[in-house]
Chains A and B, each alone.
Chain A
Amino acid sequence: MAAVNTTPRQKVGWGTANFVVIALALIPVLWIVSLSFKTPTAILDPSFWPAQWTWGNYSGVLETSTFIRPLINSIGIGLIATFISVVLASMAAYAVARLRFPGKQVLIGLCLLLAMFPLIALVTPMFNIERAIGLFNTWPGLIIPYVAFGLPLGVYILSAFFREIPWELEKAAKVDGATPFQAFVKVIAPLAAPGMVTTAILVFLFCWNEFIFAISFTSTIASRTAPASLAFLSGSSQFTVPTGPIAAAATVITIPIIIFVLFFQRRIVAGLTSGAVKG
């Protein structure tokens, strides 16, 4: 409809706007990728694309455990934290959206508090607590805070999703003799699956991206995550410029997540905006 009365000038105008957006979004990423293919001498040349291309930075980074181990930590910690977070958030969101019980406000208040929480305010006390109870520099030492900060996101998104579910089905299941718990597991959970996938993606992205806790609650590659390990790659190669290896490592942790984001973009957009529009 709109296309009928568009002038060529409008087409050029919007085409330019599209081009500007795409260029601004992609150029900084392409720069990191380009750096990761530069040889140590080519790094000292400010041209955007490498004069000679090399895989050396990648083989260097992927051969040492200083980066591989954090990569495994990142994936493991991210997946476990995401799984626990989504399970706990679905339970709570179901209760918030569906059940009548006193104390609901406490949960909502807590979620709100955590959603706005300055992470740095937790670093000092958690650092001391984790050292005292032996969680410092372990996987659970990062998983537990990640679960906690994934929860508000999960409760918001999932309770929004749960409201859209046709609840007559649950009633029908109860009429057929299902307990409330069975009704939740057998009827509602499958219907809520898209919401849970959305939540899982956003929580995983949060864990993958998180940096303050990752550098504060870890001290060795036993539990350090990939973003935190970037800051320590600098020291690994004393006599070469670490720019290339860091760029290669940055690319390794970036490209899969970009593919992931592009693949799930509809769900991500739905999840990010579900809270805001209704507010």
Chain B
Amino acid sequence: MSTSTEVTAGTEAERAPKKGKPELSEGARAERRLGWLLCAPAVIVMLAVAGFPIGYAVWLSLERYNLELPQDIKFVGLSNYAAVLSSPYWWQALKVTVIITIFSVAITLVLGMLLAMVMYRTLFGRGTVRTASLVPYGIVTVAAAYGWQYAWTPNEGYLSAAFNNSAPLTTEYKAIAVIILAEIWKTTPFMGLLLLAGLSLVPEDLQKAAKVDGATAWQRFTKITLPLMKPAILVALLFRTLDSFRVFDSIFILTAGANNTGSVSILAWDNLFNALNLGIGSAISIVIFICVAIIAVLFIKGFGTAAPGSDIGKR
């Protein structure tokens, strides 16, 4: 950490005189050109794939546009948004998404913290634990989702058999619980690794000093470890929350949205590929985009999460 700030200080200092000059030197201009040249391809690709389509989606969302009725394309203003926001399907999907997000993020945070503790403090087999915990991270979400689906199928799955041959995927809340379980299993390692990185920044001396002063393990955790890890926890939470809000793969495989278990992403996808309604689908997409933006702003402004990349910005 300290070395990187020194490096910055050094480069700033050596560049300062350049800035003071009235006009750009040949070198500074060349540097500028090179900077633009090197960034241009990345910026163009990102604008072409995200910037332009999102603008186009805004336009589509203002039109009545059904792929089955290609002659009947018409500008209808905000009525698609009115249709979405007044539809019980949207609110049901939003409810499911919020439930999945809150439960999976909260449980993943607790389990991720426990996992980080085990990886950090365990006396032996640290490498094996880390290796094993990377397996859920590496596995393809869809493949894992099939595993969960079969495991919970009555007469076929070991988990269903263990729970009295139950069929949780056929009822709303049990199916949502299985979706949350699948999400937690897949994402806890990622959370654990991010928290482990934060954990290793907590000075060991502080822990020892507190121990000498008679603090219990729980006190040391809540008064020293947690406050010092706050930045790492908030960044991990922001990423996990946004990621969880977009949940699609697991649901698509596990229930395909049946029995009111579809997330907002599933709803948008259904409107495009099953109802072939580009107008409504786009309106849902834009509303999801706004929801994600609100979550990000809440975290960054409300909780003071460091925006990812903000440290790059200072340079």
The residues of A with any CB-CB pair to B shorter than 8 Å are 2-3, 6, 10-11, 14-15, 17-18, 21-22, 24-26, 28-29, 31-32, 35, 43-48, 88-89, 91-92, 94-97, 99-108, 110-129, 144-145, 147-149, 151-152, 155-156, 159, 163-164, 167, 180-181, 205, 208-209, 211-212, 215-216, 226-228, 230-231, 243, 246-247, 250-251, 253-254, 257-258, 260-262, 265, 268-269, 272-273, 275-279
Collect the chain A residues with CB atoms within 8 Å of residue B232's CB: 276-277, 279
Nearest neighbor of A3 in chain B, beta-carbon distance: B123
Give min CB distance, B296 to chain A, whole Å: 5
Q: Select A108's contact among B1, B123, B313, beta carbons within 8 Å.
A: B313
| Contact, CB under 8 Å: A28 / B34 | no
- Asked if B147 lies at the interface with its beta carbon under 8 angstroms from chain A, I say yes
What is the CA–CA distance of A48 and B156 in the complex, to the nearest angstrom?
9
- Asked if B86 lies at the interface with its beta carbon under 8 angstroms from chain A, I say no
| Contact, CB under 8 Å: A95 / B130 | no
Nearest neighbor of B131 in chain A, beta-carbon distance: A262
| Contact, CB under 8 Å: A22 / B245 | no
Q: Select B288's contact among A32, A118, A216, A250, beta carbons within 8 Å.
A: A118
Q: Assuming A112-B308, A279-B311, is B32 touching A102 (CB within 8 A)?
A: yes
Q: Assuming A91-B41, A208-B140, is B285 touching A123 (CB within 8 A)?
A: yes
Collect the chain A residues with CB atoms within 8 Å of residue B315's CB: 96-97, 163
The residue among A15, A31, A94, A125 with the most chain B CB atoms within 10 A of its own CB is A125
Collect the chain B residues with CB atoms within 8 Å of residue A216's CB: 269, 272-273
What is the CA–CA distance of A14 and B128 in the complex, to the nearest angstrom?
13
Q: Select A24's contact among B125, B185, B312, beta carbons within 8 Å.
A: B185
Give min CB distance, A275 to chain B, whole Å: 6
Collect the chain B residues with CB atoms within 8 Å of residue A115's CB: 308-309
Q: Select B134's contact among A110, A147, A246, A268, beta carbons within 8 Å.
A: A268
Give the dominant DSSP class at B's interface: helix
| Contact, CB under 8 Å: B265 / A120 | yes
Nearest neighbor of A278 in chain B, beta-carbon distance: B311
| Contact, CB under 8 Å: B150 / A25 | no
| Contact, CB under 8 Å: B194 / A120 | no
What is the CA–CA distance of A156 and B308 in the complex, to the nearest angstrom?
9
Give min CB distance, B99 to chain A, whole Å: 18
Nearest neighbor of A119 in chain B, beta-carbon distance: B246
Collect the chain A residues with CB atoms within 8 Å of residue B4's CB: 163-164, 278
Collect the chain B residues with CB atoms within 8 Å of residue A26's CB: 132, 135
- List, sorted by A's number, 10 A–B pairs whose CB atoms are closer than 8 Å: A14-B123, A17-B122, A25-B133, A26-B132, A95-B36, A120-B288, A122-B57, A151-B45, A250-B146, A262-B134
| Contact, CB under 8 Å: B309 / A118 | no
| Contact, CB under 8 Å: A121 / B54 | yes
The 5 closest A-B pairs by CB, nearest first: A101-B35, A261-B138, A148-B49, A250-B143, A273-B197
Stretch touching chain A among B157-165, B167-175, B209-217, B218-226: B157-165
| Contact, CB under 8 Å: B142 / A230 | yes
Q: Select A250's contact among B147, B252, B305, beta carbons within 8 Å.
A: B147
What is the CA–CA distance of A18 and B125 in the complex, to the nearest angstrom?
7
- Asked if B286 lies at the interface with its beta carbon under 8 angstroms from chain A, I say yes
| Contact, CB under 8 Å: B140 / A18 | no
Q: Assuming A25-B135, A120-B265, A273-B193, is B35 touching A247 (CB within 8 A)?
A: no
Q: Assuming A110-B51, A129-B53, A262-B134, is B139 touching A91 (CB within 8 A)?
A: no
Collect the chain A residues with CB atoms within 8 Å of residue B292's CB: 116-118, 121
Collect the chain A residues with CB atoms within 8 Å of residue B161's CB: 46-47
Collect the chain B residues with CB atoms within 8 Å of residue A94's CB: 38
Nearest neighbor of A252 in chain B, beta-carbon distance: B143
* Chain B residues within 8 Å of chain A by Cβ, number: 114
- Asked if B257 lies at the interface with its beta carbon under 8 angstroms from chain A, I say no
Give min CB distance, B110 to chain A, whole Å: 14
Q: Assuming A101-B32, A108-B309, is B285 touching A29 (CB within 8 A)?
A: no
What is the CA–CA distance of A48 and B150 in the complex, to the nearest angstrom?
11
| Contact, CB under 8 Å: B310 / A279 | yes
| Contact, CB under 8 Å: B140 / A144 | no
Nearest neighbor of B34 in chain A, beta-carbon distance: A180
Q: Select B158's contact among A46, A124, A253, beta carbons within 8 Å.
A: A46
Q: Select B49's contact among A122, A265, A279, beta carbons within 8 Å.
A: A122
| Contact, CB under 8 Å: B268 / A124 | yes
Collect the chain A residues with CB atoms within 8 Å of residue B196's CB: 273
Nearest neighbor of B8 in chain A, beta-carbon distance: A163
| Contact, CB under 8 Å: B311 / A148 | no
Nearest neighbor of A256 in chain B, beta-carbon distance: B138
| Contact, CB under 8 Å: B138 / A258 | yes
- Asked if B106 lies at the interface with its beta carbon under 8 angstroms from chain A, I say no
For the complex with contacts A205-B138, A257-B140, 19 further pairs of A-B residues with Cβ separation under 8 Å are A18-B129, A43-B156, A46-B155, A47-B158, A99-B35, A101-B31, A102-B32, A104-B313, A105-B313, A108-B312, A114-B50, A118-B246, A122-B57, A148-B50, A211-B141, A254-B140, A261-B134, A261-B135, A272-B194
Q: Select A260's contact among B130, B138, B142, B156, beta carbons within 8 Å.
A: B138
What is the CA–CA distance of A158 and B4 in the complex, to the nearest angstrom?
15
Give min CB distance, B197 to chain A, whole Å: 4
Collect the chain B residues with CB atoms within 8 Å of residue A159's CB: 312
- Asked if B30 lies at the interface with its beta carbon under 8 angstroms from chain A, I say yes
Q: Assuming A107-B42, A164-B4, is B197 touching A277 (CB within 8 A)?
A: yes
